[in-house]
Amino acid sequence: AGGDYPRRSAAVLKPGGAYLAASGVTPEDRRALQEAGVEVRAFQVEPDHAALASIAELATAGRLAAHVDRVFPLAEAAEAHRVMEQGAFVGKLVLSTT
């Protein structure tokens, strides 16, 4: 996540709730969440080399596919970003340069 998501989350999480971050949280974001009565829990994800190798094998064999929800021309990048921020998609959004 990152960006303004922690502070936006502070506005919608109920006091006593928890904000989970798979990466660091800035001191300012942590303070905003704590002032809203939200507990902050951050953790680091460590790479799993065996799992990554297995995924690479699946991709090489053509057995791994991502669901593409929509393809936007590059000229519609702002619209793609709006859709992404609203969470109004399932899978991936793609910007096409062709």
- Domain boundaries, given as residue ranges, for the chain: 5-42, 49-96
Measure the CA–CA gap between 45 and 23, rounded to whole angstroms.
8
More confident site: 96 or 3: 96
The Cα 30–Cα 32 span in angstroms is: 6
What's this model's pTM, rounded to 2 decimal places? Answer: 0.46
Dump pLDDT digits (tens) for 59-91. 899 888 788 999 999 999 999 999 999 988 888
Q: Is there a contact between 96 and 71 (Cβ–Cβ < 8 Å)? A: yes
More confident residue, 93 or 59: 93
Which pLDDT score, from 0 to 100, does residue 7 have? 83
SS3 content of the chain, % helix, strand, coil (to 5): 45, 20, 40
Average pLDDT score over the chain = 88
pLDDT at 37: 94
Q: Say if residue 93's pLDDT is above 60.
A: yes
